[in-house]
Amino acid sequence: MKRIRLIVAYDGTNYSGWQIQKNSNTIEAELNKALSTLTGETIEVDGASRTDAGVHADGNVAVFDTNSPIPAEKFAKALNGRLPDDIVVVKSEEVDGEWHPRFAESTKTYEYRILNRDMPDPLKRNYTAHIYGELDVRKMQEGASYLVGEHDFASFCSAGSQVKTTVREIYSVDVKRHGDEIKITVSGAGFLYNMVRIIVGTLVDVGFGKIEPSEVQKILEAEDRSVAGQTAPAQGLKLVEIKYGE
Amino acid sequence: MKRIRLIVAYDGTNYSGWQIQKNSNTIEAELNKALSTLTGETIEVDGASRTDAGVHADGNVAVFDTNSPIPAEKFAKALNGRLPDDIVVVKSEEVDGEWHPRFAESTKTYEYRILNRDMPDPLKRNYTAHIYGELDVRKMQEGASYLVGEHDFASFCSAGSQVKTTVREIYSVDVKRHGDEIKITVSGAGFLYNMVRIIVGTLVDVGFGKIEPSEVQKILEAEDRSVAGQTAPAQGLKLVEIKYGE
């Protein structure tokens, strides 16, 4: 029996998210199906991040155990031949039998793309949130600076999650304009439910001048979801990378 | 009666191309349907470029004549409310009643994106051609330089087009690497059927070292489609802009 780790990229547009659900298309279900056909075993992967419906990934991580004689590094291409073309296993490798993608220490990096122009762009409709009106990126960056470090992010967590603590550590938040796109890149040790999307929604309020950058500090201190901005739409969000300190 | 010009962007993935066809989804048909509903007239647009199935556009151009009292510049947003979200009218404006998008002098710019890495990228599957193996971008640029200027492009034209002459003028071809993507940008006064995609297919042969850059000159001189490279896949191609010398 060996444990294999997969790096998984996907276009989340046509899925109800990562986690398996009855009567829904999910990334996890597709991986289980492809792996079970490939190995002849009943395989259930264990994923690092249960991304929501419409959210994308360059590098989500999953593991599974198998007795298959297929070499670990051959799984990627063998699976890609069996997966729909909006899911790609970028890499496969053997890991220690005790290693777990959610319990191992890691840095997760998310990217959020805003299309900031008058007209929508049909080629980016599934990969950006379209927000028109002038956004002040300098102010957004200033507001973001209050989020860096270890804080109680209760104000940035949607209801319905069961967590022991809402304290999390953010390593960096970068807000950059590239032409008519604004990219918000957030790195941290772990994230609460909808945390990145609520951070983006709040920074958009800052960008529009609805709230001052320094008010982000007060929103943190309130520990109250109702004082932060809206949850930004799913399709702008991508899980870029999970880096493990191995 | 006034003539209105539309700048049209679209994701070509789910369409059988621009031109209206029986029993097929086309950009032209969607525009006609939305315009006819909006104005109450029977409207048929006349487009600048009949892009193929799967080809995208940031700025194709179309005109139509109407007696509608709707101000010309209001058509864009009014149409976007009636069009599917993979077609967007970026701009609408009145033009002279004699002006025609195919007969007016113009510079067309196309962009072709190659994903040049081992694994496919699910988020780019509809917008790039995935080509693995080392491509020498410097050689591709050198090969491309032979195409600039006025030439007989018979070798770079698919059968089935009815044109008076296969002489065309290319103003520039740029081949650039951006990380794991190679972008080929081609500008010219006009293009033959599949011309950009055959240019890309030929430059890929140059990039792989199958043919020398200088052989591009010989392929031009042969005036024979069978000596050029393959027609590169549609989904990598985008009509970026049509610039009219007004």
DSSP letter at B154? G
Instruction: Mark residue A167 as left, alpha or beta (left: phi above 0; alpha: psi -120 to 50; beta: remaining).
Output: beta
User: B residues 151-190 near A, CB within 8 Å?
Assistant: none
CA torsion through residues A74, A75, A76, A80, sign:
positive
How confident is residue A160, by pLDDT bands cut at 50, 70 and 90? Answer: confident
- With CA atoms as reference, the chain B residue closest to A57 would be B123
In this predicted structure, what is the pLDDT of residue A213?
Answer: 98
Q: Which residues from B are below 8 Å from A9, CB to CB?
A: 119, 121-123
Rounding to the nearest 10 degrees, give the CA dihedral for residues B214, B215, B221, B226: -160
Using a 10 angstrom Cβ sphere, with 0-12 exposed, 13-18 middle and 19 or more buried, the burial of residue B143 is buried
Under an 8 A CB cutoff, do A119 and B87 touch? Answer: no
- DSSP character at residue A52: P
Q: Which residues in chain B have their CB less than 8 angstroms from residue A60's CB?
A: none
pLDDT by residue (tens digit) across A19-63? 999 989 999 999 999 999 999 999 999 999 999 999 999 999 999
Q: Where is A24: in which H helix or E strand? A: none
Give the integer Cα–Cα distance in Å for B61 and B3. 13
**Helices and strands (DSSP H and E) totals, chain A:** 5, 10
The predicted-structure confidence for A73-126, as pLDDT tens digits, reads as follows 999 999 999 999 999 999 999 999 999 999 999 999 999 999 999 999 999 999
Query: Which residue of B88, B91, B121 is in closest CB contact with A9?
Result: B121
Cβ–Cβ under 8 Å, residues A162 and A231: no
A52 is catalytic: yes
Chain B residues closer than 8 Å to A90 by CB = 119
Q: Is the pLDDT of residue A246 over 80?
A: no
Smallest CA–CA separation between A90 and chain B, in Å?
6
Chain B hits for A233, Cβ within 8 Å = none
Residues of chain B falling short of pLDDT 70: 246
Beta strands B106-115; B237-244: pairing state: antiparallel
* pLDDT tens, position by position, A36-48: 999 999 999 999 9
Residue B160 is predicted with a pLDDT of 73
The residues, any chain, with a CB within 8 Å of residue B182's CB and separated by 6 or more, are B113, B114, B116, B135, B137, B140, B175, B176, B207
Q: Which of B 77-116 lie inside 8 A of A, CB atoms?
A: 80, 85-88, 90-91
Q: If pLDDT is split at 50, 70 and 90, which confidence band does A159 have?
A: confident
Query: CA of B127: which chain A residue's CA is closest?
Result: A123
Query: DSSP state, A19?
Result: S
Beta strands in chain A (DSSP E): 2-10, 46-47, 56-66, 87-95, 106-115, 129-130, 149-152, 167-178, 181-188, 237-244
